[in-house]
Structures are given as structure tokens and as C-alpha cells.
Structure 1
Amino acid sequence: MTLRLTAAIGRYPHTAALLDGAIASDAVALDFADLPVPNRAFAPMVREQRYDVSEMAIATFLIAKAHGKPLVLLPVTLAARFQEAALLCRVNGPVKGPRDLVGRRVGVRSYSQTTAMWLRGSLSGLQGVASDSVRWITFEGAHVLECQDPPWTERAPKGAELLAMAKSGEVDAAIFGNDLPDDPALTTVFPDPAAAGRDFLSRFGFVPVNHLVCVTRDVATKYAEAVAAIVRMFGEAVAGSDLPVGRAALTPAIELAVANCVEQGLLPRPLSRDEVWDGLPAGID
């Protein structure tokens, strides 16, 4: 009998065959939730385990794991990208490059946002701009309710809007997600984002990972064979892409993400490899 599980996964070119049923398994069938964007699944997954299987931002997962949420990471990547193009400032503003952010106000939807985590890591590690040398203006809290923003953050006024604040100068720069504004009044903080991405790749050897996949601990414990089948299905879906699959392939990204989260006040302490992969059924590498 085929096990049916609920799943919340975004539609990308590499997940279309999975979502449309072209990639399937006799062991498990996934009933996909209808979500406008995949990040709508993150909060209900970490807070109440609403789905059996869910796409999950790497920063959110690490924070959730540190706070004991019953989630188990699967070694499959659904989204990865260089982040530098997401950091914008006014064309005629005071910020002309990354180092100008010291002492400045930078807006971001949430301090715990994965794009922001990777950018702050690059600013700190490659540009000498420590996370606590910037005043981060946020609009919402973390998906994990136990995670509190550090003291170098400030909540934007009620009703404020990130793009408007960036254009008016209320913030000196802003981090945007997938939907970058096409506005001639704004430009990238990194003068050459593509070159900055290549520098990151040459130094660390990977493209920053945004979204992975997780299951509830209950599913991982009770249905190990089904979890193995899910990993095979996702692996087939992303085959041919540059997205890393497997624990070894993901180790560099996860270890740097953990270090970034600790430096940025998102984790109380580093998580070991065993802690990150805790609960993953034996035989899944």
C-alpha cells in the first residue's frame, strides 16, 4: 500500500515533473499544498509541523533545530544562488560600496531571512563589515518564535514598506528577496555583483544554498523507507542541475551557514554535523 504524505514545495523548472506526477514512487505519494510562494510553508512547518514534507530555508531550519523543533533535514537542495544582487541602495545616496554600510541603516524583511544571512556573512567575512556594525531595520520576526532579534536590530514603523524606505533614504540600503525592484533610483551596493559572486565561489567552493527539504521527525522515525524514496524522487528531479545533493556535497554550505548564524546572533552556539542531520534514517547519505 502506498503511503500518502502532505508536502509543501515550490514550483521551479526542476520540481515541475515532481509536482505534476511525472516523477513518482510506489512507496510514497505526495499530496502537494497549493501555495503562492514556498516561504509561506516555513512558519507553519516549524511552529506546528503542518506538513509531512516541506521545502525549508537553510537559516530557518538551523534555528529550528537549535530550538528543538521535531524536523529532520534531507540532503536535497531546491534553491541556491549568489546573493549580492539582492542588496540595493539609492543611486545618489551615501553608500557606494559594501564598506560604506558600517554605521548605516539597512532594511530587510526579517533578520533571520536566509538571503540576509548569506549577505551578512559575506559582508563580515569578505568585506570587514561586522553584523553588529550595521543597524538592521526589520519588518517581521523569525519563523521560529523562540528566536529573538539581536540588539543591533530595530523594527520598522507599523505600516512602513521596504521599497519606499529605501527610495526615501529612511534606510541607507535594503535586502530584497526573489522579487527585486526594477527601479532606476536604486542600484546594487556591490558595484559588480557577478564578480562578487565569483569571488565567493572561488573562496568557498559553492553557491550559497537557500532552500533545502525537511520532514517531520515522526515521518522520519516511522517511515524510513518512504523517506529514502522521497530523497530519490527529489534527487531525480534536480538531476542535471548544479544543485548539490547528498550530505557530503552540502557540508561546506551547512558549516558556513552555521558559522554565519552564530556570528550574527541567530544561533546560541554552533551545531555539529551530527546535530544538523539528527534523525535522518540510516543509509541516506
Structure 2
Amino acid sequence: MSVRVPITIACWDYDRTQALADGRIRPEGVDLTYLALPVEETFFRMARYQEFDAAEMSLSSYVLSLSGNDSPFVAIPIFPSRAFRHNGIYVRAQSPLRELSELAGKTVGIPEYQVTAAVWIRGILAEFHQVPVESVRYRTGGLQQSGRVEKIQLSLPAGVDVEPVPADQTLTDLLLSGELDAIYSPRTPQSMLDGDISIRRLLADPRAAEEEYFTRTGIFPIMHVIVLRRDLYQSHRWLARSLFQAFVDAKHNVQQKLGETAANRYMLPWLYAAVEQTQSVMGRDFWPYGLKANDTTLRTFLRYSYEQGLAGRLFEPAELFAPESLQAYRI
């Protein structure tokens, strides 16, 4: 009986990873324990304490980890979380702000300066909407719970105004009180999800803006990546390829079922229409893994990270990943 390497991975409960979580797909040579943890908890525990053998990680945090002399992680080109971010800018319901270009000169709340969503939003606003990064005052803190701090120590360029909010206050409270003009957030404020109309998205039709952005750039922003602890990878370099292939197979498992209409697998009555509309804009494989299909997206993010004073240098996309995971036999 062959011995399988025991691996514990922390990753959110995604449809595209469900077959890994429930054991229908098993990485070759691996005895996998899958911990479905909230992303913020996974990021904090992995970045601060390297608690897991492998984990989902903020793309921004991972890139920052490479700027040191001894990075504790190595990634594989699996992207469990992607999201357009034009919809992630929130204002008070009565705010006069209606256009992205109007954010210049404003005070904006963000969970952390380095979070991937904020890097994308700042980059898009600077490149396409005449909102230079240094034209906005940034205030960091928890969206709905007070006390959030930067996970990673930053050394930002002069001219970038970043300060934490008071330890007992939240970004949502400060937005509603008028002390913040807007919030850039990867999460929708809970009050909006609960039906409260005191906060709205800045753009009235963010989907139209996101579709136009994709049509113009071909970019579907990457948020998270899968990383292995570097010491484990160096002991078993074949793990990079094995885990990569298992994630690819798990995504294919659910991708083939998205358009099923005989019985609704998901609680969305018009899912078939959403699938068809998405494919008409983005193509059939709209959530690609691997390096080649994501080269433009990764290059853009790496440029934004460097321009915003986060990454210590301008990385090439291939530098982010274990070379064994770049030569997959099926994607």
C-alpha cells in the first residue's frame, strides 16, 4: 500500500472546490483534509502563523510575501476567487457621488490598504477614471467589526495618505456619519444584504461598467491564489502539480453542470440565462486556471501593486508560481 502525504488545506466553500472538499476528487499521492474556513480567517492564520500546509491566500498578500528575502509560500496558478470590483464601491444613499471620477479628493474607507480588491479598484480608477492613487485619503478598519488592522507591515511612498480609523469604530458607521465619503470593500455591507437602503453602490449599473471593462481589457480580476508552505513544497515538489491538477478537475466537475435545466442544482431560477449571458460576453471558459490564460490579468495586477508602492519590484507572472505547476497535462 502506497503512503499518501497528509495535507491540510484551508479554503472557502466554493462550488468549484466542492469535489475536493467532499473527497470525490483526490489529489494524486495526497491524503487531503479540507477546512472550509471564512477567507479572512484563513488569510490571517496563514499569513501570520503559517498554520496550514496549503491555503487560499489574498493575491496581494502573496505578492508582498515575495518581496522579502525568504518567502514562506509558493503558489500554484489556481484562482478560487475572482470578481469584478466596480460594484464594490459604496456610498450613503443620499451621497451626491454618481461617477467614479468624482472620487478624487475624497476620504475613502478600506479594510486594509493592501487587500487585493482595493489594489484593483485603485488601479482601475487611476488608469481609466482620472483618480490618481494619491488623490484619495484612505482610512483602514473593519467593515462591520471594529479593530481590524493590516496583516502585513507596509512601507508606502510619500504622498499616500493612509491612517487607521479609531479602534472602536467601523467603516460602515463612519460612512453613515459622513466622516467617510465612500468605502471600497470586497464584501457587501451587511445592512444592504438585510434590506437597509441607507447605503448604495456608487454606480447605478455596475454590471454594465464591468462588462465594458472586460470587453475593453479582457481582464476578469483575480482575487485569491492557492499557496503551499515553502518548506513542504521543497520536501515534495511534486505536490505543486498534484494539487494543481486536482483543482482543475474539481472546477471542470462543476463547470459542466452550470447550465443544467432538467433539475435546478442551485437556487437561482434564471441561472441558465445568467450562464448564457456570461458566456456571450466572456467566452465558454470564463474562469480559467493556469498561467497562459491569465497572463494579462496577472501582469496588470503586478503593475498596480508595484505602482502603488506595495510590491518591492515589478514581478513577472511566472515568478509567482512553482514551475512544476506550469507544465500541466490537462487544464
* Common fold by TM > 0.5: yes
What residue in structure 1 maps to residue 107 of structure 2?
A: 105
Q: Among residues 173, 183, 198, which one is paired with 1:174 in the alignment? A: 183
**What is the Cα-based RMSD across aligned positions, in Å?**
1.9
Q: 2: CA distance between counterparts of 1:79 and 1:137?
A: 25
1:260 equivalenced with 2:304 (yes/no): yes
What residue in structure 2 maps to residue 199 of structure 1?
A: 212
Q: Is the 8 A contact 1:106 1:174 kept in 2?
A: yes
Q: 2: CA distance between counterparts of 1:81 and 1:64?
A: 22
1:190 equivalenced with 2:203 (yes/no): yes
Q: How does 1:1-285 map to 2 (within 5 A)?
A: 1-33=3-35, 35=37, 37-67=38-68, 68-139=70-141, 140-145=148-153, 147-148=154-155, 151-181=160-190, 182=192, 183-239=196-252, 240=255, 242-277=286-321, 279-281=322-324, 284-285=327-328
By relative contact order (CA 8 Å, sep 6+), the higher-ranking structure is 1
Q: How far does residue 272 in structure 1 lie from its aligned partner after superposition?
A: 2.4
Q: 1: CA distance between counterparts of 2:49 and 2:291?
A: 26
Q: 2: CA distance between counterparts of 1:211 and 1:283?
A: 18
Q: 1: CA distance between counterparts of 2:234 and 2:327?
A: 13
Q: How far does residue 84 in structure 1 lie from its aligned partner after superposition?
A: 1.2
Question: Secondary structure of 2:151's match?
Answer: coil
What letter corresponds to residue 16 of structure 1 in structure 2?
Q
Q: 2: CA distance between counterparts of 1:233 and 1:125?
A: 36
In structure 2, relative to structure 1, the CA distance for the partners of 1:283 and 1:179 (3 Å cut) is closer
Q: 1: CA distance between counterparts of 2:62 and 2:120?
A: 14
Q: Is the 8 A contact 1:94 1:172 kept in 2?
A: no
Q: Is the 8 A contact 1:141 1:148 kept in 2?
A: no
In structure 2, relative to structure 1, the CA distance for the partners of 1:283 and 1:186 (3 Å cut) is closer
Name stretches of at least 5 consecutive residues in structure 2 with no aligned partner: 142-147, 256-284
What letter corresponds to residue 19 of structure 1 in structure 2?
A
What letter corresponds to residue 197 of structure 1 in structure 2?
E
Percent of pairs with identical residues = 26
**Structure 1 consecutive aligned stretches of length 4 or more whose deviation exceeds 6 Å:** none
In structure 2, relative to structure 1, the CA distance for the partners of 1:274 and 1:14 (3 Å cut) is closer
In structure 2, relative to structure 1, the CA distance for the partners of 1:7 and 1:282 (3 Å cut) is closer
In structure 2, relative to structure 1, the CA distance for the partners of 1:282 and 1:70 (3 Å cut) is same
Report which of the two structures shows the higher radius of gyration computed on alpha carbons: 2
Q: 2: CA distance between counterparts of 1:71 and 1:179?
A: 29
Question: Secondary structure of 1:78's match?
Answer: coil
Q: How far does residue 220 in structure 1 lie from its aligned partner after superposition?
A: 2.0
What letter corresponds to residue 40 of structure 2 in structure 1?
N
Q: How far does residue 41 in structure 1 lie from its aligned partner after superposition?
A: 1.6
Q: 1: CA distance between counterparts of 2:223 and 2:188?
A: 15
Q: 2: CA distance between counterparts of 1:149 and 1:155?
A: 14
Q: How far does residue 177 in structure 1 lie from its aligned partner after superposition?
A: 2.3
Name stretches of at least 5 consecutive residues in structure 1 with no aligned partner: none
Q: 2: CA distance between counterparts of 1:77 and 1:273?
A: 13
Q: 1: CA distance between counterparts of 2:57 and 2:250?
A: 17
Q: TM-score, normalised by structure 2?
A: 0.80
What letter corresponds to residue 64 of structure 1 in structure 2?
S
